[in-house]
Every structure is written in C-alpha cells, then in structure tokens.
Amino acid sequence: MSYIVPIGPYHPALEEPVHARLFVEGEEIKDAKVYIGYNHRGIEKLAQQKNYIQTLVMVERVCGICSHSHAFTYAMACEAIAKMNVPKRGQYIRVIVAELERLHSHYLWLGIALHLIGHDSLFMHSWDDREAIMDILEEITGNRVNYGMITIGGARRDISDETRKNVLEMLDKIEKSMNVIKDMLLSDKTVALRTQGVGILTKEDAIRIGAVGPQARASNWAIDVRKDAPYSSYEDFDFNVAVWDSCDVFSRVVIRVLENFESIKIIRQALDMLPSGPINLGLSRIPKIPAGEYMIRYEAPRGQLCYKVVSNGGEFNKRVSIHVPTFRNAPTVPTMLRGNSVADAGLIVASIDPCFSCMDR
C-alpha cells in the first residue's frame, strides 16, 4: 500500500517548524518533499531601518547557536566597504570566540543526534562537556548566548592572561573527553545500527545540490571557507579540513567530532600567538560607512554563511542580504530520505543540523 506520511511542521524530533511529506510504500520512503517558510521574522527588512550598531545587535539574534557568526560576518562586510583594517589582536580574539562557538554548536548537535539514536548516556556525556565550553564563553564575553563580542572595527572585550589559562585548561579537559567519545562512537553497536548506511548523500549529489559545511564534508567534499577564502587571519593557523567518506548519518556524526579536534587546535594556536596591541579601532560613535556594497563568506558551524551589505552613505543600511547554510543543505533532505524507513526520517532531517529560524529570518 502507498501512503503519504506528513512530518511537521511541528514534530518531536525538531524544535523548529519544517514540513516533510513522505511518499511511502509500507515502511520504505519512495520520495519526499520538504516545505519551508513557517517562521519568517523580517530581519532583512528591519535592517533597512536601523543604523550599523543596531543592526549588529539585531543580526546576532538571527540564530542563538551561531550568533557570533552573524555579527562577525556583518561587521566584516561593513569594514570592507569602509576599508577598515581590524587590529591583529582583535582578529585573533574574533577567531577564538568563533571556534569556541563551533565547538559548542557541534557538541549541541552531537547530543541531539545521540538522543534521537537512543543513546542517552553518551548524549549526557557530550552535553556535560558542552557546559564547560559555555562557561568559558561566559567568562570571555559575559554571556552564554548572544556574546556581544563584535564591534565594527574589532572585538569589544579583551582576553586576560587568567582567562587564557582557563581556556587552555578547558581545552585539555574536553580533548581527553572527546577522544573517549570518539572511541565509543566508532565502536558502539547502537550508533552503528541507527546511522551506518542511513541517509546517504553521495559526493556527486552533494556537489549537484550545493551542500555546504559539515554536510558537504561528510560526503567527502573538502570545502571550507576558512581554507578556500581565509578571513580574520585564518591563514595564520595550521589546521586540516576534516572529511569522511561513508556519506551517511554516521559520517555526519564523525565529521563533527573530527572538526572539534581541529577547532581545539586553532584556539590553542591563537592563544599561543595572541598579538599585543589594541583589540579594535577605538570607534566611540556610530561608524560612518561610505556608499558601496560588499559580499563576504564565512564558515559558520553549519557551513558557508554569506552577507551582502549595501550602503548609500547614510545612517542606515540600504540593504542587508543574508544567505544561511541551512538554505543550501535543506534541499539535500529528499535525496537522503529516499530508500530509507519512516522510522529514520526524523534523524535524517536532523542530520543536516538544521536551523529553520535562521533560514526563515
């Protein structure tokens, strides 16, 4: 018998609204369609009514998990239009917070994936480590979410010697723990049964559809903006673009674990080489952005994030266009669902690490 099984727009597997329509025969998914657009918030329109500092605060609220990414990218676009040179220390501090955010985002997704798999002990283990990262983010920035670390022209807060020591101690702790988690993930039968061979996205399909971030790298496609178009001194750091070739949900689990080790490596280098000098350009007033436009790419935890900022030289933005990674990864879902069982649908959708409120900004 053939059926249409609806998932969403509200579903226990996802905190955000998306609707997937599954065309099934028995338990097997023969085809699927994904419908988006349930959570539009008008942020791009609001940006046309706000000055550059107000916009910086607002875009940080496009997404709670990758808030630093949005503020960082918007600021870089404005700085490029105004031809501002951010001090080297400010660039490094931006990178440190960016990689800490990547760590907490990957741990968050990893915990949710393990919970959906049914491995709650490993879920709690990973989220316990995430708390240590969130504590450090709070120590550096004053906040666990929406850090307020970015200003146009640099970073808003410095990193003291004591905080630097605490960050390094935290990295040592979670690196040891991550090795334990990695060994368990690679050997656990429950994880293998629920993830291996599930939700296949081949490298050819990833390229054809245009996947980005961990979703693409889990299909053995080595793309990463930090390497392909370095920004904020990423060219100073030695790290690898992690890839995995099984192209399934298991690959998406493993790739985030491997990327955590690379983020730890980058943060250690940035702390060891942290330059002296100012952290920003000392702009005490709302910055003057001349007429012009600029589009910039950024490697957010979920993948390539793009901002295009257009200025007419006035007080407000003329246009802010935001292109988020979930918009690129969502079209891969129907391809991944085909041939799988209805029971795996929630996990497959979640495996792209979706942020639909981000996408429906």
- What digits encode the pLDDT tens for the residues 313-340? 988 999 999 999 999 999 999 999 999 9
CB-based contacts of 204, cutoff 8 Å, min separation 6: none
Q: Determine the Cα–Cα distance for residues 19 and 13; give it in Å rounded to an integer.
A: 12
Of 152, 136, 56, 54, the closest CA to residue 103 belongs to 136
Q: Which two tokens stand for residue 94?
A: 């931006």
The Cα–Cα gap between 236 and 160 comes to: 21
Name the domain count of the chain.
Answer: 1
For residue 46, give Cα distances in angstroms to 33, 54, 143, 215, 317.
31, 10, 25, 31, 10
Mean pLDDT of the region 263-280: 96
Instruction: Answer for the pair 79, 86: CB distance below 8 angstroms, yes or no.
Output: yes
Which of 62, 54, 146 is closest to 322 using CA atoms?
Answer: 62
Digit-coded pLDDT (tens) for 47-80: 999 999 999 999 999 988 899 999 999 999 999 9
Q: Which of 23, 10, 159, 1 is nearest to 92 (CA)?
A: 159
Helix pair angle (88-117, 161-187), 10° resolution? 30
Whether residue 9 is preceded by a cis peptide bond, meaning omega within 30 degrees of 0, is yes
Read off the pTM.
0.94
Give the integer Cα–Cα distance in Å for 42 and 306: 17
Q: What tokens appear for 271 in the block?
A: 């702390």
Local structure of residue 51 (DSSP, 8 states)? B
What per-residue confidence (pLDDT) applies to 13?
60
Q: What is the mean pLDDT of residues 126-133?
A: 93
What per-residue confidence (pLDDT) applies to 12? 61
Q: Which domain holds residue 113?
A: 2-359
User: What backbone phi and psi angles, to 5 degrees, belong to 341?
Assistant: -90, 160
Chain segment 160-205, per-residue pLDDT in tens? 999 999 999 999 999 999 999 899 888 888 888 899 999 999 999 9
Mean pLDDT of 353-357: 85
Please say whether the beta carbons of 101 and 150 come within 8 A: no
In this prediction, residue 92 carries a pLDDT of 98
3-state secondary structure of 10: coil
Query: 285: domain CATH number?
Result: 1.10.645.10
